[in-house]
Chain A
Amino acid sequence: MSGEIIERAGKGVGGSPEETVSNGDFYRIGRVLTAALDLNTRLDRVVEQAMEILQAERGSIMLLDEGMDELVVRTSRGLKEAREFRVRVGEGIAGWVAQHGEPLVLQDVVSDHRFRGTDPSIKSALAVPLRVEGKVTGVLNVSTATQRRRYDYLDLEHLISFADMAAVVIENARLYEALKKDHYHLGKELQMASRIQRSIISTHVPCASIRMVSKLMPASAVGGDFFSVIPLSRDSRFCFYCSSEVQDRCQNLRSEFCPNKFGVMIGDVANKGMPAALIMSVLTTILYEVGRHHISPRTILNEANSAFRRFFSESQYGFATLFYGFYDNTDNTLTYAKAGHESPLLLRGRSGELEYLDGEGFPVGLMEDGNYQEKTIELEREDRILLYTDGLTGALNVKGEILGRKRLVELVKIHAREDIEAFLDALADEIMLFSGDAPQPDDIAVMVLELEDLYDLTMTVGTEMRQIRYVINSVLETLQGFEGLSDPVTLRLCLEELLHNAMEHGNRCDLSKKVYITVKAEPRRAVIRVRDEGEGFDFGRILARGQEEQPVLSERGRGLTIVSHYADELWFNREGNEATLVFTAD
């Protein structure tokens, strides 16, 4: 052991006062260290400042890797050893400092028995522990190769004072970094949860003469509001599929669902965010499974109630409100039951009158017997049903006023004459206008269903190319009274393209998915609508490409270019999975 080594006693520090680092200096140093929140920047600043104070040529910060019981060089200046250089706690000078929690002042480093370095030019060095709440988090080292400069106790005192401040500065940045990382991962998870939640919601109406639009606006990434369309399984004993009038047309339909009957539900779990989303997922699955085989909303709500009570028996999980309706296209009836849910609005298409779909029943999960009652109403063409959750009527504005049902009814009346897509958009806009900058307090779910005008032909076919010819022939047969039929070639071309697009690009050749066709034929106007069950596409982009002078080389683009050239009108719904084609007789 070298006689020159002076281990710190911590007392009896000598030295002249003019060399002391003043409070003003510390204030300035503090400003420099905390200027950035980024950990690496802070580490760099700490080393630079320490070297400046001690007039050192070399400096480094080693942080403790607790799991490995090692010190890792996180930043260095003037050192030959690379970053990420590691030493075990207890080994070398820094290892000794970390292990004992004591600082060292070495006047002849190389001769010290703890020295493990490779640079023999180092003369004098200081190593002090970085401590947060008494715990060593790392080691700050500075050294010099200058003969004239030998570090003493006073230098050590300066570095200790500096290190105490630096340790806190580093620790804050470290915590911030860890928090940021957690936040990032949590954000990713939430994003995925949100996608999963949306994917379990089904909004494909299996019936060609019903249109439906919906909006789900959770107050956070995920929420407890939900809705879904539940097609009735064909194997259900209640399904009259085989006796329906489209039997002869649809006997080739490879679908497990009845094209004329389906359930529709909307619900609200009394909770928000992730807990609500989890409960919502379970409820949706149960309702979907039960709804596929039962037509009685009362039975379905009873099942949901007992399932909720079984899975979420603890009172803190609360309850959920639900509305379940079963629609039968063969006699145009809606049978429904409610579990404490807001009464949906029924807007009569002919008279413009508003009715409430009210009824008794406790929210699911609350009582052993929910006391659900069933009601049946007859629907007429152009009737519109607005299903919503209380987040809609409960929207708040900046003054803290609630939107309320009265105001909602007024808005519905104002926009009643608009097409359902525009109708839903207008409602959403009005709610946003009302809320202004006020935060959305609750999840909002809205769903609008409309019975369309009577068609001359409605067809549902499976995704099979060989169905195309059959559909085209049926459509052309329906259009016999249309005066523009003199040129069936172009009509046929357009139909073939739309059906082909629907099956290949829309349904992606998925045999379980269907294509819905409706035809309305008047002497001077024919309207043909083709809808698929795909995710839709960016029709604007493809149609725009058709306007360019270049030959249209993509098959889909070519088909649409042709259709928009020959048809008098062509438009798509917003999702891009429903095309409407209009021909007029000139």
Chain B
Amino acid sequence: MEISVSRVGDMGEIAVVKVSGVVDSETVDRFGETIEQIFKDGCYNIILDIGGLTYINTAGLSVIADAFKRSSQSKGALKILRAGDAIRELLDVVRFTKIIDIYEDEREAIGSFR
């Protein structure tokens, strides 16, 4: 699993989390900790770029679900950027696509926070 965080937006108020590779039992904790750190820094607007994600287990999905809930409660939002077909199907199965917006274009995703 590769994971990186960058800040975008006029004031750097949006965190873009780029996660790729495999989120499984051995990497899920690092995934969760990265998101946790963003919340700790007081940022609740998150774009999760999962274009390079090949595998994610349910613990990984739980991290996404928790992040979605916490950001919404703090008047922020969590958006997903570039979900591949397999991952998109998985998000459909657990019906995350009903509550989380998915974007194909990064600028569009950033724009959605305005």
Contacts and interface: CB of A to CB of B under 8 A. Distances in A.
B86 A555 contact: no
Interface of A: 465-466, 468-469, 489-490, 492-493, 496-497, 500, 549-553, 555, 558-559, 561-562, 565-566
A493 B62 contact: no
A555 B60 CA distance: 10
B93 A565 contact: yes
A144 to B, nearest CB: 73
B99 interface: yes
Given A492-B55, A500-B57, 20 more contacts: A465-B25, A466-B25, A466-B26, A468-B25, A469-B25, A469-B26, A489-B86, A490-B86, A493-B57, A496-B57, A497-B57, A500-B25, A550-B95, A551-B94, A551-B96, A558-B58, A558-B62, A559-B58, A561-B93, A562-B90
A549 B61 contact: no
Contact of A553 (B57, B59, B65, B86): B65
B107 interface: no
Nearest to A497: B58
A555 B90 CA distance: 14
A489 B58 CA distance: 13
A558 B90 CA distance: 10
A558 B61 contact: yes
A552 B61 CA distance: 10
A558 B55 contact: no
Interface string B73-108: 000000000000010001001111011000000000
| Shortest 8 CB-CB contacts between residues of A and residues of B | A565-B93, A551-B95, A559-B58, A552-B94, A558-B58, A496-B57, A558-B94, A555-B62
B87 to A, nearest CB: 9
The A interface, classified by DSSP as helix, strand, loop or mixed, is helix
A500 B95 contact: no
B54 interface: yes
Contact of A551 (B24, B54, B59, B99): B99
Contacts of A490: 86
A133 B104 CA distance: 95
B52 to A, nearest CB: 14
Contacts of A489: 54-55, 86
Contact of A562 (B54, B58, B62, B65): B58
Contacts of B26: 466, 469
B39 to A, nearest CB: 19
Contacts of A559: 58
Interface in B5-32: 24-26
Contacts of B57: 493, 496-497, 500
A494 to B, nearest CB: 10
Contacts of A566: 93
Interface string B36-73: 00000000000000000011011101100100000000
A553 B61 CA distance: 9
Given A496-B24, A550-B95, A562-B90, A555 B54 contact: no
A552 B62 CA distance: 10
A373 B59 CA distance: 55
A469 B24 CA distance: 9
Contacts of A469: 24-26
A586 to B, nearest CB: 16
Contacts of B24: 469, 496
Nearest to A566: B93
Contacts of B93: 561-562, 565-566
Contacts of A493: 55, 57, 90
Nearest to B92: A565
13 contacts: A468-B25, A469-B24, A489-B86, A492-B55, A496-B24, A500-B25, A500-B57, A500-B58, A550-B95, A551-B95, A551-B99, A558-B58, A562-B90
Contacts of B65: 551, 553
A550 B98 CA distance: 8
Nearest to A548: B95
B94 A561 contact: yes
Nearest to B55: A489
Given A549-B98, A565-B93, A555 B58 contact: yes
Contacts of B99: 551
B100 to A, nearest CB: 9
Contacts of A465: 25
Contacts of B59: 500, 555
Nearest to B95: A551
A95 B18 CA distance: 89
Nearest to B57: A496
Contact of A549 (B55, B86, B95): B95
B94 A562 contact: yes
Nearest to A496: B57
Count chain B CB atoms within 10 A of each CB in A500, A550, A553, A561 and give the residue with the most: A553
Contacts of A553: 65
B68 to A, nearest CB: 9
A501 to B, nearest CB: 9
A238 B58 CA distance: 42
A520 B62 CA distance: 31
Contacts of A468: 25
Contacts of A551: 65, 94-96, 98-99
